[in-house]
Amino acid sequence: MIAWLFLVVAILTEVTATLALQAAVKGSRWWYLLVATGYVVAFTMLSLSLGEGMPLGVAYGIWTAAGVAFTAVLGKVIFKQPFTWMMALGVALIAGGVLLIEVGAH
């Protein structure tokens, strides 16, 4: 259970760092502090998740897929970036793929 908590924190900090990267490019360079910190914390949490016994394929698959999906949705909400029906379909396929990875690991 602790491995999942580490993974959730890894996802949230990676998404935060990626969104901060967009903010840094568009605005103040101070956002880069959040970018660097977020990525360090994200990779640390991912490694802790692996250290707790979560399989690499499951952890990395969920981490990257959730990151892509959340970043696409939040990019639309925060930065008013495009989010088309095809992108929404891609997010749905990502969610299905993550589910298959998790089910297949057991």
Distances (CA, A) of 51 to 3, 6, 54, 59, 106: 8, 10, 7, 11, 18
pTM of the model: 0.89
Q: Each residue of 37-50: pLDDT tens digit?
A: 999 999 999 999 99
Tell me the chain's radius of gyration from C-alpha atoms: 15
The whole domain housing 36 covers: 2-104
**Residue 33 half-sphere exposure toward CB, CA atoms < 13 A:** 3
Spatial CB neighbours of 48, under 8 Å, sequence gap ≥ 6: 3, 6
Q: How far apart are CA 13 and CA 29, in angstroms?
A: 19
Residue 75 has pLDDT above 80, yes or no: yes
